[in-house]
Structure 1
Amino acid sequence: MYPPAIALTVLVVMSFAPFGSAHASCDMQRGNGWQGCAEQPQAATVYYDRWGAIATDESNGAFGTAEWIARKDGAEKKALKECRKNRGVDCAIKFTYRNECASVITGTRMNYFQSSASDQEAVSHGMSRCQKEDSDCKVFYVGCSLARKGI
């Protein structure tokens, strides 16, 4: 009959057919008598803990710290090792913190250890404590061990 007309009609009809219409964000799900579209689940963000520790030898003022360590015991061991390296003989862990910042504020009578979400907050809160209870308050140390975002 009219072969060019039939071919043209088929071509026009096929141009409206969805070729590979599945979207990148949609996986076609098929089951027993059903089908549907399911969104791809988003990968959960994973954060890894990071530890910090502070060790001192109160008899001679030796001081050691550790930051950004994966395990608590590792942070404490490193702080003790650094304290001994700084001529500490009787070093002891004075403060341990996880996924935050820490400060040491010195006063005339004692040291004030403080942790908080940021280094500025750790200093601010530590200074506030020292000034309420002591005099001649100074920032001696500030460090952070914030959680590390995983891949």
Structure 2
Amino acid sequence: MIPNPIGAGGQAECVPGSNYQNWGSAGGGGSSATVYDGYGAFALDEQSLKLGVSDPKDLFRNERQAKRSALKSCKENGGVDCKIVLTFVNECAVTMFGATDSSGSKLAIYTGKGVDTEHAGNEALAKCKATGSPMCEPGQSDCVERWRND
């Protein structure tokens, strides 16, 4: 899935396809567009389990921008001591809430990365189950891809 630069009804959306470079452009002449890697990040306040995700509506061309957005999101969600728990480039990432052991006495967050949310979710779920957690519940997900600056 790729970000749709045209959007529908003014809302961001993702659409399948690979020839998205020319969507919304007038003519097919040579372009001096720059291609950037897409960056994303998750931040977490471990005490309160408040999570922040880099803004999926923005395109981040470096890790620093994505981290700053995730930290801001975490604090806006009520986190106080937010720290980056995952960064990702040109891929998908998923968080999974579970426990640190089979007693379920302490909650934890597990993360996974992959080519799509299914693969990322499977990785996060495997990490959660490996601890013996009695529950593994999906949290946030986000995907980022290379993008062009036309």
TM-score after normalising by structure 1: 0.64
How much has 1:150 moved relative to structure 2? 5.8
Answering whether residue 137 of structure 2 is matched by residue 146 of structure 1, we say no
1:90-105 correspondence to structure 2 within 5 Å: 90-105=81-96
Unaligned runs of 5+ in 2: 1-29, 101-107
**Cα distance in 1 for residues equivalent to 2:70 and 2:136:** 24
Distance 1:99 1:61, change over 3 A: same
- The residue that corresponds to 1:36 in the other structure is none
Which amino acid in structure 2 is aligned with residue 133 of structure 1?
T
Answering whether residue 46 of structure 2 is matched by residue 48 of structure 1, we say no
1:1-150 correspondence to structure 2 within 5 Å: 47-66=35-54, 67=56, 68-109=59-100, 110-135=108-133, 136-149=135-148
**Cα distance in 2 for residues equivalent to 1:150 and 1:81:** 25
How much has 1:129 moved relative to structure 2? 2.2
- The residue that corresponds to 1:12 in the other structure is none
- The residue that corresponds to 1:32 in the other structure is none
1:42-67 CA deviation, whole Å, 9 max, x = no partner? 99x96420100111111112211114
SS at match of 2:129: helix
Unaligned runs of 5+ in 1: 1-41
Extract structure 1 runs of 4+ deviating beyond 3 A.
none
When Rg is computed on C-alpha atoms for both structures, the one with the higher figure is: 1
**Cα distance in 1 for residues equivalent to 2:72 and 2:36:** 24
RMSD (Å) for aligned C-alpha atoms: 2.2
How much has 1:139 moved relative to structure 2? 0.9
How much has 1:149 moved relative to structure 2? 4.7
8 A Cα contact 2:43 2:84, kept in partner = yes
